Amino acid sequence: MPNEKPELPHHNSQPEHDTPPAVIRSLSAPTNATPARFTAGFLLACIISAVVHGVLLTLFLFVTVNTTNANLTTETKLIETLIEDEKPKDANLTNEDEGGLDPDRLLNFDNVRIDKISVPGPAKMDEKIGNSEIADSAPMNVPPPPGLLGSEGQGGGVKSPNNPGLMNPSAFGGGFSKALMAPGSIGGRSGSTREQLVREGGGNTETEAAVAKGLAWLVKHQAPDGHWSLDGFYQHGHCNCNGIGQNNDIAATAFGLLPLLGAGETHKKKEVKDQISYRLNVQRALDFLIRKQARDGNFGGGMYAHGLATIAMCEAYGLTSDPRLKLSAQAAVNYIRAAQSEGGGWRYEPRMGGDTSVVGWQVMALKSGQMAGLEVDDNKNPTLSRATKFLNSVMTADGGGYGYTTNDATETMSAVGLLCRLYLGTGTRNTGIINGVNRLKKSPPGSITSMYYYYYATQVLHHVGGKDWEEWNNKMRPYLLARQDQGKTPGRPHQRGSWGPAGDPHAGAGGRLMITSLSVLTLEVYYRHLPLYRRDMGGKAMVAN
C-alpha cells in the first residue's frame, strides 16, 4: 500500500537518506546456540595447529646446534697430588747377626751349623787317631749312604740296615732323593747345587767350558745306533781324528755315556728352548746297552767293560727312576756279584782271581747300584766285605800303596785301591789313607802322563779335601785345560774339544775316546760325586790336623 512504510529489521532503525543504504546481512540468532559451521572451523584450526607444532618440534629434535664458536667460560682449578717418581727400594731383610740370612747363599741344601763338629754315634774319648784296626773317618754332619760300614766313634757313619748294602727302592728309588744327596752320591750334578759345588770345590767357568766342549766332541762321534767305538769313532764322526784304540764297543759306549751322565744329562731331562740337549744321545746309548745285555745280566766285552757299563746303567737309573733301567741295572749288579772270585776280586772273566784295576770298576759299579736303591749285598753273599779281603791282599804294609795282583805298589793301582777303601768305609784319618795321600802327592799332576792315574787320584784327593785337595786341584785343573785340543792342529779341526792319547801308557788300549772321557770326568769331579767326608755338600773339608 502507498501509505505503508517498509518494515526494517527490528534491530536497525536508521533514517532514510538520499543514497541507497548499504546492504547489511543480519546474523542475529539466539545467544545460547553455536552455529555448526563455527564449530567445524575451530576444530580444524586446532588440528592444523597441533600438526604444525608437532612437525616443528620434531624438526627441532633433529637440528644440531653448533656451539663450537660459543664463548664458554671455563673455570680451571689446580689440584696437587703426590706421585712417586722412583720405584721404592726393596726392604733389606738381611740379618747381620751370625747365622742370619745371606742373600748370596744358595739355599737348596745348606744348613747353619750349630757346633763346630757334629759326629754321629756315641763318642769314644779314649779312641786313638789313626787306629788302623777300625774303619774311621773325619767328623761330618751328613751321614754316608747305607752300606758304608765304619766305626761309630770316629764318624764312620751309621750302621747299615738289616740287609747290609740294601736300600729300599721305594724310598730311595732315584730322582733327587735322600739317597742321591748322601755323601759320595750323584745328587749334585745340576742346578744351583752344581754351581755351588763348582765354585767351592775349585772349579770355574773355564773348567765348565772345557766340559761342554768335551761333551760336544763325544756326541759328534756317536754311532747312529747309540754306541761309541774305541777304534772306529772317526768313522761315525766322518772325520780324520786320530788316536785309535782297541775294539770294545761296550767299554767305548760306557766311556761315551758316563761324561754325559756326570753333567746331569739323562734321557728324561726336559728340553729347554735355545739350550743344548743330549737327551736323545743318552737314550740311544742306553738302548744299545740293553740290547747287548744277556739274560744273565752280562753286557759283554769282559768284566772291565761290564763294570763300566754297569756304572752307567746304575747312574742313569738313579737319576731318573726309570723302571726299565732298574731291571737292566739290577741284572748287571747280580752278574758282578756272581762273577766275584773266592779271593774277593774280579778279573777279565767271571771268578778268575782278581786284579786291582778291574776290581776298582766293579766296586764303583756296586756302590753306584747301592746308592740307586739296588740290592748289592746280603748276609749270604757279602760281596763288598769280600772285596775288602782282596784289597788287603794287594796292600803294602803301611796301608798306603796297592799293587796290580800283588803288594808291589804302583801309583795308578794305589790311587784305585785308595778310592775303593774310601767308598768301602775307611775314613780319612785312617793311617793307611794318610800314607796313601802322601804317596799320591809325590806324583802330582804333570809329573806323569797317565790319565787313568789322574782320574782315580783326583777323586781320592777330592774326598779327602783340605789343603791337600787345594794343592792338587791347583795343578790338575790347568794341566787338563792346557792339554785339551783347541782344533788348531793343521788338517784336523774336528779334534776340537778332545784330548789326544799321545804319550799316555793306555793310549793303545783306549785311544782318544777313552782319554777324552777320563779327562771330562776328572773335570766333573767337583759335582759328579758329592764329597764323602765333608761337613756338608759344598763346604770345606773337615780333616783333623
Task: Give the lowest-confidence range in 184-198, 322-336, 491-505.
Answer: 184-198
Tell me, yes or no, whether 105 lies in a domain: no
pLDDT in tens, 370-403: 989 999 988 777 999 999 999 999 999 999 999 9
Kindly report the CATH number assigned to the domain that includes residue 386: 1.50.10.20
pLDDT recorded at residue 85 = 54
pLDDT, tens only, 404-425: 999 999 999 999 999 999 999 9
pTM of the model: 0.68
Tell me, yes or no, whether 280 lies in a domain: yes
| pLDDT beyond 70 at 98 | no
pLDDT at 493: 95
Angle at alpha carbon of residue 122, lines to 389 and 146, rounded to 5°: 45
pLDDT-based confidence at residue 19 (cuts at 50, 70, 90): very low
Q: How far is CA 327 from CA 77, 127, 281, 361, in A?
A: 83, 44, 21, 20
Range of the domain at 481: 191-528
Decide if pLDDT at 90 tops 60: no
pLDDT in tens, 250-304: 999 999 999 999 999 999 988 888 788 899 999 999 999 999 999 999 999 999 9
Tell me what pLDDT residue 417 has.
98
Helix, coil or strand: residue 541: strand
Report if residue 102 sits inside a domain. no
Q: Is the residue at 52 inside a domain?
A: no
What 3 state SS string does 198-265 have? HHHHCCCHHHHHHHHHHHHHHHHCCCCCCCCCCCCHHHHHCCCCCCCCCCCHHHHHHHHHHHHHHCCC
> Which range (33-37, 133-137, 475-479, 534-538) has the least confidence?
534-538
Amino acid 56: pLDDT? 74
Residue 226: what pLDDT? 97
In one-letter notation, the amino acid at residue 17 is H
- ∠ Cα 231 232 234 (to 5°): 115
Interatomic CA distance for residues 378 and 310, integer angstroms? 19
In the chain, pLDDT over 90 holds for what percent of residues? 57
Across 98-102, 166-170, 479-483, least confident range: 166-170
Please state the domain count of the chain: 1
On whether the CB atoms of residues 455 and 445 are closer than 8 A, the answer is: no
Q: Is residue 448 part of a domain?
A: yes
Q: According to the model, what pLDDT value does residue 472 have? A: 98
Which pLDDT belongs to residue 387? Answer: 96
Residue 158 lies in a domain: no
Could you tell me if residue 131 is inside a domain? no
Residue 27 lies in a domain: no
Give residue 470's pLDDT: 96
